[in-house]
Every structure is written in C-alpha cells, then in structure tokens.
C-alpha cells in the first residue's frame, strides 16, 4: 500500500521547520532551525529579526527535510503549512514558500492551525491514539483545554483570560535575570528546590475552567521585590535571602498546580479517561511528573510527546495536515496568514463554526 507523504512547513514564531511525515504518523524527516539564541540577547522574540531569519533558512531547511526523507517534491501528496496564529511576518514566509511549491508542483495546499499541529504531535508520539481525548495545550502564546472530538474537530473547554502559561514562565525568568526562553531555564533551575518556600495564589473562576496567570505572576514579582529589599537592608544579595532554586521551584509548582487541577476537573466533567499534553510548556518536567501521578490516581490514560515534539516543529504540522487532507480539505492559493486565528470545531465542513476564538 502506498502511503500519503505530507511536507509540513512551520514558521509561526522563532523556529523555521520542515518535515516529511507518512500517513500522519511516521516521521521520515524533521528539520528545525532555531533562532532562540539570536533572540535571547533581546529577552524575547523580535518579529522583524524572526521574519528575516525565516527568509534565510526556509529553502535550505525544506531541501534538507526532503533529502533526509529520501523523497522529492513529486513524491508528496500535499503541502501543509501553518497559516496562523503567530507573528504575521513570520507566518508569511512559510506560507509564501508553501504556496509557491504548491503552484509549481500542482500539489494541494493545506493550511494548518498551529494549535491543531501541537495537538497532532500526540499522534506522532502514540501510534494508537485516536479521538476522543482531552488535550492540555500550553505554549508561549496559548493555554487551552481542548476536547478533541475527532480529527480536526475541536471544542475549546477553557482558555487563558490573560497570560499564557509559557508567558508566565518567560516573564518571571526575565524579571529575575534567568534569561530567555524562561520555561526550560526555570525547569532546570528548580530541580530539587523547595516547592513551598513562599505563598503564591492559585486563581480560579467560579463558573469556568478558564486560566489566569497574571495574578500569580504579579504576586511572584512582588515577592521577588520584597526579597530584594530584605537583602538590601542586610547588605547581601537577593539569592542569599531565598535560593534561586527554591524561588523557581515554588513558582513553577504554582503554575503546574493550576494546570493539573483544571485539567482533571475537565476530565471529570467530560467523563473522559484519555488525556494528552501539547505545546512547549508540556516539556516541563514538573508538569509531566504531576500529571503522571494524578492520572495514575484517577485511572486516566496519559500520553505526551517527547520534548522535541512539544516545542515548535513541522512534523506536527504535517500530521495535522494529513488528517485535513484525508478529510478532503484543500486551500486556495489566496490563503492568507492570520495572526489570531480561530480553532473552529468543524473546519472541514461548511457548517457555521461555534465561536471558539483563541
Ligand atoms: O510551543 P512553543 O515552542 O511555541 C509557541 O507556540 O509558543 O512554546 C514555547 C514556550 C515558551 O514560553 C517556553 O518558555 C516554554 O514553551 N517551554 C517551557 C519548557 N520548554 C519550553 N516551559 C516550561 N518548562 C519547559 N521545560
Ligand atoms: Zn507552538
């Protein structure tokens, strides 16, 4: 049986990536050119620099992905590309190249929602995974609890009302001088630290499972400033008053507690027993550990992608693109990049999608 090969292209933020995936599940190649080192000097992603770097990297990255897969453009069934949400200038680079390739080869073009890609990373990690399942999507820009009813059919059960979980990691890491990107740095620094070194709030809403991290972030900043003042009075340094390790571990635990609690409440409400994680923050070791423990207690089957499939990559875009392709979805060459794009629940049919805007 011949397989459907999808070329995936991703350029929504600071990773230029291309991958070839067979039948939505088997990665033949995956190439990622990260710009993180370049942006770290500025403490965050600079959109103009990101766009310029994507332009330089995109063609060599695609060439390498095809070469490592041992395939040519003519072997492909379709070309899948992230068209939103993300930085519009960055998205346009991947999308323009994808359109050019689709036009030149006559292969179908399939626009993929970035979050749908993150969710699909789970299909690559677990060959037996089938919808329905619950997915906690936590990245630098998003914190969502998504009910995946079928391939490409999603209902957003909860979202963040302010900062995303990754933002909460990145902003505090920058404020305390750890650097960028903050998530992995806090994760590493927190190892073996006390998780209750000081009090932090865990916000919740009475009537919804939505997340809010801004109160937690402000409380941590205020606490950091108090430690600073104590150190100044004593003529010492802030990390003599509280260890950096304990500060990071206590802050990380507060974020993870909120994510775990809301996720298991959503599982209770939906009566689902199948859970997955997605997005850059799903690489967090404390989150993985706490989710694994809670899942074991609750009799929930949990799986999550390996670290490199949690952060941005193109294999996940190719996988999501495959299921869109099989559902008959084709996009016109007029497809545009959309900085804030809805994750609709029925994007392959012409039905009126519910309001599930991100
Ligand atoms: O999914 P992703 O690569 O890009 C977006 O779509 O946003 O996620 C990047 C985010 C950043 O905020 C980064 O700090 C966070 O994921 N991240 C982590 C870890 N690794 C990456 N957060 C916590 N712990 C980690 N180990
Ligand atoms: Zn992402």
**Is 347 a residue whose pLDDT tops 70?**
no
Structural domains for the chain: 5-125+309-326 (3.30.420.40), 133-308 (3.30.420.40)
Report yes or no: 139 and 313 within 8 Å, Cβ to Cβ.
no
Model confidence over 220-236: pLDDT tens digits? 999 999 999 999 999 99
**Is 143 a residue whose pLDDT tops 90?**
yes
What does the mean pLDDT of the chain come to? Answer: 92
Ligand nearest to the CA of 310: 1
**Is 348 a residue whose pLDDT tops 80?**
no
Indicate whether residue 139 lines ligand 1 (CB < 6 A).
yes
What pLDDT score does 40 carry?
Answer: 78
Q: Report which ligand 1 atom has the smallest distance to the Cα of 118.
A: 1
- What are the CA-CA distances from residue 341 to residues 83, 112, 152, 177 (Å)? 8, 10, 15, 33
Model confidence over 298-333: pLDDT tens digits? 999 999 999 999 999 999 999 999 999 999 999 999
User: Once rounded to an integer, what is the mean pLDDT over residues 71-96?
Assistant: 96
pLDDT > 70: percent of the chain: 96
Model confidence over 252-266: pLDDT tens digits? 999 999 999 999 999
What pLDDT score does 344 carry?
Answer: 65
Indicate whether residue 279 lines ligand 1 (CB < 6 A).
yes
Quote the ligand 1 centre to 231 CA distance (angstroms). 31
How many other C-beta atoms can be found within 10 angstroms of the C-beta atom of residue 332?
A: 10
Indicate whether residue 210 lines ligand 1 (CB < 6 A).
no
Indicate whether residue 256 lines ligand 1 (CB < 6 A).
no
Model confidence over 293-305: pLDDT tens digits? 999 999 999 999 9
Model confidence over 23-67: pLDDT tens digits? 999 999 999 988 777 777 777 778 888 888 888 989 999 999 999
**Is 184 a residue whose pLDDT tops 60?**
yes
Indicate whether residue 143 lines ligand 1 (CB < 6 A).
no
pTM of the entire predicted model: 0.92
Q: Report which ligand 1 atom has the smallest distance to the Cα of 166.
A: 12
Which three-class secondary structure string do you get for 68-122?
A: HHCCCHHHCCEEEEEEECCCHHHHHHHHHHHHHHHHHHCCCEEEEEHHHHHHHHH
């Amino acid at each position: 049986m011949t397989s459907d090969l999808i070329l995936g292209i991703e350029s929504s933020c600071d990773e230029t990536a291309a991958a070839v995936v067979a039948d939505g599940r088997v990665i033949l190649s995956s190439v990622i050119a990260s710009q993180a080192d370049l942006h770290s000097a500025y403490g965050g992603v600079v959109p103009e620099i990101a766009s310029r770097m994507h332009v330089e990297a995109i063609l060599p990255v695609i060439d390498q992905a095809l070469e490592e897969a041992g395939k040519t453009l003519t072997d492909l069934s379709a070309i899948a590309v992230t068209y939103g949400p993300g930085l519009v200038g960055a998205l346009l680079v991947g999308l323009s190249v994808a359109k050019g390739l689709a036009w030149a080869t006559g292969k179908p073009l399939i626009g993929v929602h970035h979050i749908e890609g993150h969710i699909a990373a789970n299909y690559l990690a677990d060959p037996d995974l089938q919808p329905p399942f619950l997915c906690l999507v936590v990245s630098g820009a998003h914190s969502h609890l998504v009910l995946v009813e079928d391939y490409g059919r999603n209902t957003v059960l909860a979202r963040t009302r302010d900062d995303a979980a990754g933002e909460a990691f990145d902003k505090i890491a920058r404020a305390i001088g750890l650097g960028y990107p903050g998530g992995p740095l806090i994760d590493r620094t927190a190892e073996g630290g006390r998780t209750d070194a000081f009090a932090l709030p865990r916000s919740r809403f009475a009537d919804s499972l939505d997340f809010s991290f801004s109160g937690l972030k402000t409380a941590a900043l205020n606490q950091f400033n108090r430690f600073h003042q104590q150190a100044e009075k004593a003529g010492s340094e802030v990390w003599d008053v509280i260890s950096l390790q304990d500060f990071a571990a206590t802050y990380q635990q507060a974020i993870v507690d909120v994510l775990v609690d809301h996720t298991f409440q959503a599982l209770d409400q939906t009566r689902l027993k199948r859970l997955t994680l997605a997005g850059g923050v799903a690489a967090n070791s404390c989150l993985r550990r706490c989710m694994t423990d809670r899942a074991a207690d609750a009799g929930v089957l949990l799986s999550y992608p390996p670290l490199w499939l949690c952060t941005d990559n193109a294999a996940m875009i190719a996988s999501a693109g495959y299921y869109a392709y099989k559902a008959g979805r084709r996009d016109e060459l007029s497809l545009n990049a959309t900085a804030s794009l809805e994750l609709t629940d029925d994007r392959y049919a012409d039905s009126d999608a519910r309001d599930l805007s991100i």
